[in-house]
């Protein structure tokens, strides 16, 4: 293999690695956006659940039922 052929082969490999790196970066960005969206959803659901629990606590009678 001549020096020119080796250089060409290395250039091809570099181009393939750059393409793969760009694809992985795009995938990571998409996953990060999905993660942030899910985190916001969990935060909203947590707040709703806490509100429901607080409301349920205020409606629960403080005395034992008669069958106790």
For the stretch 11-59, pLDDT in tens is: 999 999 999 999 999 999 999 999 999 999 999 999 999 999 888 877 6
Is 41 inside any structural domain?
A: yes
Is 63 inside any structural domain?
A: no
Report how many domains make up the chain. Answer: 1
Helices (H) and strands (E) in the chain, counts: 1, 0
Is 22 inside any structural domain?
A: yes
> pTM for the whole thing?
0.65
The radius of gyration of the chain's CA atoms, rounded to the nearest angstrom, is 29
Domain residue limits at 32: 1-48
Is 66 inside any structural domain?
A: no
3-class SS of residue 65: coil
The angle at the Cα of 31, spanning 37 to 12, to the nearest 5 degrees, equals 155
């Amino acid at each position: 293999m001549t020096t020119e052929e080796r250089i060409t082969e290395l250039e091809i490999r570099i181009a393939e690695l750059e393409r793969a790196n760009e694809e992985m970066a795009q995938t990571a960005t998409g996953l990060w956006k999905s993660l942030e969206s899910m985190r916001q959803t969990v935060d909203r659901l947590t707040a709703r659940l806490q509100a429901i629990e607080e409301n349920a606590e205020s409606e629960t009678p403080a005395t034992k039922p008669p069958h106790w």
